[in-house]
Amino acid sequence: MIGTYFKRFAPQTLYGRAAAILLLPMLTLQLAVAVVFVQRHFEDVTVQMTNNLLLEIKMGLDERNDRSIEDVARTSARTLNLDLHEWDGVASGNAPVFYDISGRTITPMLFKNLDRVKDVDLSNLDQVTIGVQSAKGPIEIVFSRYRVSASNPHQVLVLMVFTGAFMTVIAFLFLRNQLRPIKLLSLASSAFGRGHSVAFNPSGAIEVRAAGQSFLNMRDRIERQIEQRTMILSGVSHDLRTPITRLQLGLELLGGPEVQDLKKDVDSMRLMVDSFLNYARDSAADPVADVDLVALVSDLGERSDPPIHPQVVGLPRLIALRSVPIARAIENLLVNALRYGDQVRILICFEAHDIVIYVADNGPSIPADQREQALKPFIRLEAARGQNQGNCVGLGLAIAADVARSHGGVLILNDSAELGGLSAEMKLPL
């Protein structure tokens, strides 16, 4: 419970967490050393030295009651390293500097243990000036600051802070060099998730290099599998086109009403082969360019039957995308929506970090427990929204989902709150 609460305030990035791991122990150590050293050393030493000096001051004041101040200053006070002289009795009003830690101990002790003290001036860090009302008049006593304090604690604190800051900078530089390979690995894996294959050379610690090499091996295996899948499906689909073309030509030469059903079957086969080719096509091979998404979707909507005009939310801007796969994915969503509904809505939302394309219809939706299956290729649903209706071969949503994943995005199916049918949400990162 407590860990969950503090986790909200913890840094989210690896660099931030490593910095916190570095700084927190150092700050805690400095704080502990400062408290213990100042309280137990400086404070105790200051109290002891001030008490010793108070005895000497009292001795000098006792002699002042019997002798003149000049005589006392010339003999006993000089022996005690005290500077005594006449005082006008007016308090200086000088306050100690804010970083004078030992002064907070000296002043109360002088007022408490020395009778008739009227003024204590600690504005000069090298000396202490006190004003005393003696029996023969006010006297000003001046002595070295080092007689009541070994040294000023702020010097130790300043040295500790600057030393800690210097070592922190060095640690940050070392930490940055150690985390750079991890950051490069993250960028390479993120780019590969969006369909980019960037150059990456494993470096850093042994564990980081091992992780980087494992990523390269995994990337090579995935690329080989994608290449093999593309070659197999493309080859099979291409080989099927030749006999389908022959069948179409043969049926065109034949007459009779019974031939019309055969023509429909051949058209369905051609549509199936074209769908296989579109699915097998490697979208990563298409170049990435700045695309006017609003114009692209508007063109697709104008060519649909009936025409559909997209709605835009946010500030439109050019986006780096693969135009051909994106157009194919959006077209599949539009065709799927028009197949099952007579009202279709397209919404393009330009957000801070993402672009969301909504395609919704008023037809029958897909049950929540079957939506994940609907995004898989060659899956035929048994519900009213089944993909076995019409000439669908079960690849429209699968192609759209595959294109979204190749751009580092995702395709999400939900119920349309406005139209009551299915809502397909393609979310692409910027």
pLDDT of residue 77: 64
Q: Among 127, 155, 183, which residue terminates a domain?
A: 155
pTM over 0.75? The answer is no
Is 178 a member of any domain?
no
pLDDT of residue 388: 43
| Angle subtended at Cα 133 by Cα 132 and Cα 138, rounded to the nearest 5 degrees | 85
Shared domain check, 290 and 150: no
Shared domain check, 147 and 8: yes
Residue 102 phi, psi dihedral angles, 5° rounding: -65, -25
The β-bridge relationship of strands 127-134 and 137-144 is antiparallel
Shared domain check, 7 and 145: yes
- Per-residue DSSP letter, 284: G
Is 280 a member of any domain?
no
Query: Would you call 192 helix, strand, or coil by DSSP?
Result: helix
Is 221 a member of any domain?
no
Domain extent at residue 335: 285-429
Q: How far apart are CA 90 and CA 138, in angstroms?
A: 9
Strands (E), 369-409: none
Q: How many CB atoms lie within 10 A of CB 298?
A: 18
Q: How far apart are CA 263 and CA 20, in angstroms?
A: 71
pLDDT of residue 390: 44
Residues 393-404 as b/e (b if ≥16 CB within 10 A, e otherwise) read: bbbbbbbbbbbb
* Pick from 88, 135, 145: nearest CA to 115: 135
Q: Among 134, 155, 176, which residue terminates a domain?
A: 155
Is 137 a member of any domain?
yes
Is 246 a member of any domain?
no
Q: Among 120, 155, 190, which residue terminates a domain?
A: 155
Give the tokens for residue 202.
């494993």
Is 84 a member of any domain?
yes
pLDDT of residue 184: 87
The β-bridge relationship of strands 344-350 and 311-313 is parallel
Q: Assign residue 303 the CATH number of its domain.
A: 3.30.565.10
Give the tokens for residue 124.
């000069």
Is 274 a member of any domain?
no
Residues 223-255 as b/e (b if ≥16 CB within 10 A, e otherwise) read: eeeeeeebeebeeebeebeeeeeebeeeeeeee
Q: Are 130 and 119 in contact (CB under 8 A)?
A: yes
Q: How far apart are CA 281 and CA 238, in angstroms?
A: 12
Let me know how long the chain is: 430
Q: How far apart are CA 170 and CA 14, in angstroms?
A: 18
Q: pLDDT in tens for each of the 430 residues of the chain?
A: 565 666 676 777 777 777 777 778 878 877 777 777 666 667 778 888 888 888 887 777 776 666 666 676 666 666 677 888 888 878 887 777 777 777 888 888 888 888 788 888 888 888 888 888 877 788 888 888 888 876 655 666 777 778 878 888 888 888 888 888 888 888 888 777 766 777 888 888 888 888 889 988 988 888 888 777 777 766 776 677 777 777 777 777 776 666 777 777 777 777 777 766 666 665 555 677 788 888 888 888 888 878 888 888 888 888 888 888 888 888 888 888 888 888 888 998 988 888 899 998 888 888 888 888 888 776 666 554 544 444 455 677 888 888 888 787 888 888 888 888 888 889 888 7
Q: Total domain count for the chain?
A: 2
Q: How far apart are CA 112 and CA 55, in angstroms?
A: 13
